[in-house]
Structure 1
Amino acid sequence: MAYQTIRQEYLQIPVVTRAYTTACVLTTAAVQLELITPFQLYFNPDLILRNYQVWRLITNFLFFGPVGFNFLFNMIFLYRYCRMLEEGSFRGRTADFVVMFLFGGLLMTIFGTFVSLVFLGQAFTIMLVYIWSRRNPNVRMNFFGLLNFQAPFLPWVLMGFSLLDLCGFTDLFTCLVLILALDVFPNQPGGGRWLRTPSILKSTLFGLPKVDAFRNL
C-alpha cells in the first residue's frame, strides 16, 4: 500500500520536473556509491570537442555535490520552483517548457565556458526561481527568515548573492537574456519573439496542435 501511494504521488509530478529531479538524484546517488566520479561529469569544453565526451553537456547540470545540506537545499529549490512553473505558467504546454529548458541550458553553457564553471546545476535552479518570480509578482516571500519581500524583488536578492560567486554571475546573464526574449521584446511596438517552440516538437513528441508556442507567456 505504501509503495502504491509513493508511486502514485511520484507519477503526479509534472513530467519535466519529474525527469530532471530524478536524473539529479540518481546521478548524485551514483557518485555517492562510487559507480561514477564527478570527474566524469563536469563541464570541460576541451574534452567535449576533442574527445567527443558530449554527455558532459548534460551531466554537469545533474550533479550538485555530495549528499548533504547543500544538496538537499538545491533539490528543494529545484523541485519546488520547477514544478510551480510547469503547473503554472507552462500548464498544458510541456513542449514550451522543454524549449525554455534547452534555451536556458544553452545560454548557461556559453557563459559557463567564459567563466570556467564546471557544474551549472545550481545556476540553472536559480534561473527557474528567477523566471517564476517574474510570473508571480504578487506573492510574498521570506528569505531565510531574514528578509520579507514580494516575488519581483527575488531576482535582486539573488543578484546580491550572485556577486559572491561566478555561478550567480552566469545565472544572472542567462536570466536577463531569457527575460528579454520572453517578456521585453515581444511586448515592444514592432517587437518579435526570439524563442519559439518548433512545431515538430509540439506535434510529434507531445501530440499538441501546431500553434504559436509562447503566445500566452
Structure 2
Amino acid sequence: MAQAVEEWYKQMPIITRSYLTAAIVTTIGCSLEIISPYNLYLNPRLIFKQYQLWRLVTNFLYFRKMDLDFLFHMFFLARYCKLLEENSFRGRTADFFYMLLFGSTVLTGIVLIGGMVPYVSESFAKIIFLSNSLTFMMVYVWSKQNPFIHMSFLGLFTFTAAYLPWVSKIIIFHS
C-alpha cells in the first residue's frame, strides 16, 4: 500500500506535486501548532506597510482545519490540477505555472480591491485565505476544457463535467 502511494506521488507532475505537498505540509503544520495561521493570512496592511510579502503566497497554502472539507479539496487539487497539467498543459509546465500565477494574482487583486470599496469591503475583509478559491479555479478551468465528459457522484447521480464546479461546491458546503 505504501509503495502504491509513493509511486502515485512520484508520477504526479512537478507543479501539482509541489503545490499539493506545500498545502498538506502547511495545513498539518498549523494543525500541530508548529506554524501559526496568523503568520499566513492575507492582510494588506502587513503586506504593504511591513513588507510581509510571503502572505501573498502562504494564504493559498492553508486550508484551515483538517476535516472532510480538507480531504475534498486535496482530492480536487490532486485530481484536477494533475489532469490539467498532464493533458491541457502537456509539455508546457511553465504555461501551467503562469496560469496558476495569473489566477492567484486575479483572486488576490479582487480581494484587495474589493476590500477598498465602500459597502462591499466588509464581506471582502472576511476573506483571508484563498486556497479554496484557487482549488475551485482549477476545477472550473478543467471542467470548461472538458465539458462533455460524463461524471458520477458516488454512483448516485450522473452529470457532465460542465456542471462539476457547482456539484463540487454543493459537496463541500454540505460536508
User: TM class by shorter-chain length?
Assistant: 0.7 to 0.9
- Cα 1:44–1:12 change in 2 (3 A) is same
Matching of residue 129 in structure 1 with residue 128 in structure 2: no
- Cα 1:42–1:7 change in 2 (3 A) is same
- Cα 1:95–1:120 change in 2 (3 A) is same
After TM superposition, list the pairs within 5 Å mapping 1:31-50 onto structure 2: 31-50=30-49
Output the amino acid matched with 1:124: L
Matching of residue 142 in structure 1 with residue 141 in structure 2: no
Q: Hey, what's the Cα distance between the residues in 2 that align with 1:87 and 1:111?
A: 29
The structural deviation recorded for 1:154 is 3.0
Output the amino acid matched with 1:44: N
TM-score normalised according to structure 2 size: 0.82
TM-score normalised according to structure 1 size: 0.67
The structural deviation recorded for 1:46 is 0.6
The structural deviation recorded for 1:147 is 4.8
The structural deviation recorded for 1:37 is 1.1
Structure 2: stretches of 5+ with no match in the other structure: 115-123
Q: Deviations over 1:102-129 (max 9, x none)?
A: 0000000011221221000001101100
Q: Hey, what's the Cα distance between the residues in 2 that align with 1:28 and 1:48?
A: 21
Output the amino acid matched with 1:23: A
Calculate the aligned-residue CA RMSD, in Å.
Answer: 2.3
Q: Deviations over 1:117-158 (max 9, x none)?
A: 100000110110000011112211235666532112334x26
Q: Hey, what's the Cα distance between the residues in 1 that align with 2:7 and 2:168?
A: 38
After TM superposition, list the pairs within 5 Å mapping 1:76-87 onto structure 2: 76-87=75-86
**Percent of paired sites with the same residue:** 47
Higher mean C-alpha displacement, 141-150 vs 59-68:
141-150
- Cα 1:150–1:12 change in 2 (3 A) is same
Q: Deviations over 1:49-88 (max 9, x none)?
A: 0111110000000000121111111111111100011111
Structure 1: stretches of 5+ with no match in the other structure: 165-217
Secondary structure of the structure 1 residue equivalent to 2:89:
coil
The structural deviation recorded for 1:9 is 3.2
Output the amino acid matched with 2:40: L
The structural deviation recorded for 1:32 is 1.6
Aligned residues: 160
Q: Over alpha carbons, which structure has the higher Rg?
A: 1
Output the amino acid matched with 1:153: Y
